[in-house]
Amino acid sequence: MHNFQILIIIAVIAFLAIRLYKKYGKKNKNDQGINTNPSSGKSVPSSSKDEDYEPYSKK
């Protein structure tokens, strides 16, 4: 093989490796519970209780 062919083969392998890394890297992040869309929901649930309610105040 000539040097030019070896360089092309290495470039193709590197390109495929980077693509696979990105593909499975994103998949693993989603599996770990990282939210990729933080604006998709409320972080604090709204409650219908009074603001002055204290559960351990023995009122």
Please, which residues have CB within 8 angstroms of residue 29's CB and are 6 or more apart in sequence? 36
Are 20 and 26 a contacting pair, CB within 8 Å? no
1-50 tens-digit pLDDT: 799 999 999 999 999 999 999 988 876 666 555 555 555 555 555 555 56
For the entire predicted model, the pTM comes to 0.44
Are 36 and 30 a contacting pair, CB within 8 Å? yes
What does 2-49 look like in DSSP terms, one character per residue?
A: -HHHHHHHHHHHHHHHHHHHHHHHHHHHHHTT--S-GGGS-SS----S
Please, which residues have CB within 8 angstroms of residue 36's CB and are 6 or more apart in sequence? 29, 30
